[in-house]
């Protein structure tokens, strides 16, 4: 083994140990807040592991959605879910149950480890085929080709799931809040660090978000990663009180939410006429059509993530005067 190989092995081993340590802390932390912080740290370390696994697209998604957006939602929930310590300790299982759970979880983990090591070598897969069929489409990133072309139906259903989840979250509100604005309302900050950040960051963030969504077809990036950054910019401005969440009854917001999946469906159906069928693209038009879908999708992903972070409406609608 070369020196590079040994160094890489040491680096990977160290990274794996850190990932597991952060996961252990997330479980063992004395309270929900440090546990959630541990989870965010875990996610960032995992992002590095994804880079080491040769998956920069996944690393970006893990950082943006798996760690960033998920972390924000969990932290907001921790703050609002205070108390209940007695209830929690009363419901904590006894020693015997913990032991049984440990044995079960350990057995599953061990079986899985053995199974992974027993997977066939050379590994079967679609790497060569996916790579070979990406270039003729005019795309440079095979992951984007899988997401938008070969397995486009996965992505379409997933974007529908995202939009649907926004509606599901809204529907948890009490009846009287319907038509109100999602989430808590933050006081407007005119000076202080947050106000400064909320004015300086969004212009830069918007450019970066759009850039990452735009390069996705040729380089690591794409609608989910770029859309998350756009959503984050809105959340910063929202938390500083500079913008208000739109009412759940606002048709423009709903249109923005469904734009991505709806454009995807329409282009897909157009495939019956202009190409070989549903979700097929004519070779010459493949890239422009995909970019149109990606643009609409970026908008929808950004809106959906921002609104999922905000949550259900928490106040009755304001009276129109």
Partner 1 sequence: MSPATPGGSLLVLALILPVAAMLVAFVLGGRAAERLALAALGLGALLAMLVAAAVYRAGAPLAYAVGGWAPPLGLALRADGVTAAMLLTAALVLLAVALFGRTGHATPPGLAEARAPFAFWCFLLALSAALAAAFLGGDLFNLFVALEMLTFAALALACLEGKPSQFRSELRYLLFALIGSVLYLLGTVLLYGGYGTLDIALLAGRARADAPTLLAAALMTAGLAAKMALFPLHLWLPPAHAGAPPAASAVLSGLVVKASFVLLLRLWFWVMPPLAAAAAAPLLAALGAAAILAGSLVALRQARLKLLVAYSTVAQIGYLFLMFPLALAGDAEVAARAWLGGILQASSHAFAKAAMFLAAGLIAGALGHDRIAALGGAGRAVPVCVVAFGLAGLSLMGIPPSGGFTAKWLLLTSAVATGQWWWALVIVGGGVLTGGYVYRVLAGSLTAPPVTDAPIGDAPLPAAASRGPQLVALALALVSVGLGLLPLASFGLVQVGRLGAAP
Partner 2 sequence: MSAVLAFLGLLAVAAGAGFFVAGTAGVIRFPDTPSRLHALTKADNLGLGLVVLGLLPFVPGWFFALKLLLVWALVLLSGATAAQLIAERVRGPEPPA
Partner 3 sequence: MSGAPIFGLTGAALVGLGLFGLLVQAAVLRKILAFNLLGAGVFLLFGVVAQRGGTAGGGADAVPQAMVITGLVVAFAATALAVVVALRMHQITGAATISESDGAEPGGSDAA
**Segment 141 to 180, residues that bind partner 3, using CB under 8 A:** 142-143, 145-147, 150-151, 154-155, 158, 161-162, 165, 168-169, 172
Does 114 participate in binding partner 1 (rule CB under 8 A)? yes
Q: Choosing among partner 2, partner 3, partner 1, none, which partner's interface includes residue 94 (Cβ < 5 to 8 Å by kind)?
A: none
Does 282 participate in binding partner 1 (rule CB under 8 A)? no
DSSP 150: I
**Chain residues 170-229 in contact with partner 2, contact rule CB under 8 A:** 192-194, 196-197, 200-201, 204, 208
Q: Using CA atoms of 221, 224, 228, 230 in order, give the dihedral in degrees to the nearest 10.
A: 80
CB-nearer residue toward partner 2: 88 or 204:
204
Judged by DSSP in three states, 126 sits in coil
Cβ neighbours, 10 Å, residue 259: 19
Q: Choosing among partner 3, partner 1, partner 2, none, which partner's interface includes residue 320 (Cβ < 5 to 8 Å by kind)?
A: none
The sign of the dihedral angle between the CA atoms of 46, 52, 58, 59 is: positive
Closest approach of Cβ 190 to partner 3, in Å?
A: 30
Report how far residue 62's alpha carbon sits from residue 321's, in angstroms, rounded to the nearest whole number. 45
57: left (phi over 0), alpha (psi -120 to 50) or beta: alpha
Q: Choosing among partner 3, partner 2, partner 1, none, which partner's interface includes residue 194 (Cβ < 5 to 8 Å by kind)?
A: partner 2
Q: Choosing among partner 1, partner 3, partner 2, none, which partner's interface includes residue 243 (Cβ < 5 to 8 Å by kind)?
A: none
β-sheet bridge partners, residue 182: 313
Does 13 participate in binding partner 3 (rule CB under 8 A)? yes
Number of separate helices (H) and strands (E) present in the chain: 13, 0
Closest approach of Cβ 200 to partner 2, in Å?
A: 6
């Amino acid at each position: 083994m070369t020196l590079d190989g040994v160094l890489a092995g040491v680096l990977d081993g160290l990274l794996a140990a850190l990932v597991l340590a952060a996961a252990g802390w997330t479980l063992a932390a004395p309270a929900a807040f440090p546990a959630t912080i541990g989870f965010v740290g875990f996610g960032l370390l995992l992002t590095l592991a994804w880079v080491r696994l040769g998956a920069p697209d996944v690393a970006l998604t893990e950082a943006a959605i798996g760690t960033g957006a998920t972390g924000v939602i969990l932290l907001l929930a921790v703050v609002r879910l205070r108390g209940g310590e007695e209830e929690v300790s009363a419901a904590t299982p006894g020693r015997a149950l913990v032991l049984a759970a440990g044995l079960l979880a350990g057995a599953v983990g061990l079986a899985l480890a053995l199974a992974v090591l027993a997977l066939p070598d050379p590994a079967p897969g679609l790497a060569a085929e996916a790579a070979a069929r990406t270039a003729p489409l005019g795309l440079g990133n095979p992951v984007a080709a899988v997401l938008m072309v070969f397995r486009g139906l996965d992505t379409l259903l997933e974007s529908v799931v995202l939009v649907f989840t926004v509606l599901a979250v809204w529907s948890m509100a009490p009846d009287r809040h319907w038509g109100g604005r999602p989430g808590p309302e933050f006081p407007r900050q005119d000076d202080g660090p947050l106000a400064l950040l909320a004015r300086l960051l969004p212009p830069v963030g918007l450019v970066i978000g759009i850039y990452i969504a735009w390069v996705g077809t040729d380089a690591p990036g794409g609608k989910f990663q770029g859309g998350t950054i756009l959503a984050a910019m809105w959340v910063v401005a929202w938390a500083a009180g500079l913008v208000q969440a739109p009412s759940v009854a606002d048709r423009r917001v709903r249109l923005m939410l469904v734009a991505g999946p709806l454009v995807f469906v329409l282009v897909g159906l157009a495939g019956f006429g202009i190409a070989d069928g549903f979700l097929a693209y004519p070779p010459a038009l493949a890239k422009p059509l995909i970019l149109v879908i990606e643009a609409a999708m970026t908008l929808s992903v950004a809106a959906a993530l921002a609104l999922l972070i905000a949550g259900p409406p928490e106040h009755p609608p304001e009276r129109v005067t």
